Amino acid sequence: MMNWYEKLNQYFPVEEMKSKDHMDTLLKEKGSVYYKDEGPYHVLMYAEFPSFSFVDYLFVSKESRGMGIGKKTLQMLKDKDKPIILEVEPVDYEDTDSEKRLRFYAREGFEHASSIGYCRRSLATGEENSMEILYWAPNGETEEEIFEAMKKMYEDIHTYKDEHFYGESYDPVSDVLTRKEQDQQDILKPFSDPVNK
């Protein structure tokens, strides 16, 4: 049986993975903020702050897809009635998984924060890694609020004790998260049209 970390590690690209030490330490030292929720078919790692939740990793095993596990897991966070934020890879039309993922979040009522630029250098590969931010806003929260929340999350969770775990520091938040002058293309739009349902 694979443990929760192995499941995540097999599914997520290396540049998006935290080390096991990093995650174990978050669970231990940031236990009032960083949580693990797992079952036989899923692993959810998330951070819960007073004004928002952040999905760090959500893994649902292939054999259980279509059983509503992803939906049920997200519902647990939606029931907290505060924004949910997550990062996704820019859509890759070669990769059906990335398309399925976007369709799933579009169906769940998430929006694309297209005014937020997010690019961080992976300490594992040294490569720049651009991600898109999706959010669910139950009370009409703005992208400005989502931007502020992401900055907090980046500093408290992603870069927590980074030098200790990786031997170097991630780039400062001001380099990683930016507001774009004009909105970029909405990556969820193709999946939100009734035609594509």
Distance CA 189, CA 195 (A): 11
Record the pTM. Answer: 0.92
> What is the C-alpha separation between 123 and 168, in angstroms, rounded?
8
The percentage of residues in the chain with a pLDDT greater than 90, rounded to a whole number, is 78
- Please name which of 26, 65, 19, 61 lies closest in space to residue 46, comparing C-alpha atoms: 26
pLDDT at 197 > cutoff 70: no
| DSSP per residue, 68-126 | SHHHHHHHHHHTT-S-EEEEEPPP-TT-HHHHHHHHHHHHTT-EE-TTEEEEEE-TTT-
Distances (CA, A) of 17 to 67, 112, 124: 26, 22, 9
Band of residue 196 on the pLDDT scale cut at 50, 70, 90: very low
Per residue in 48-80, pLDDT (tens digit) is 999 999 999 999 998 998 899 999 999 999 999
For residue 52, count CB atoms less than 10 angstroms from its CB and return exposed for 0-12, middle for 13-18, buried for 19 or more: buried
Closest CA to 132 of 178, 177, 174, 90: 90
Q: How confident is the model at residue 117 (pLDDT cuts 50, 70, 90)?
A: very high
Confirm if 87 and 58 have CB atoms less than 8 A apart.
no
Q: Spell out the domains of the chain, with CATH numbers in brackets.
A: 4-196 (3.40.630.30)
Cα gap 83→55, rounded to integer Å: 11
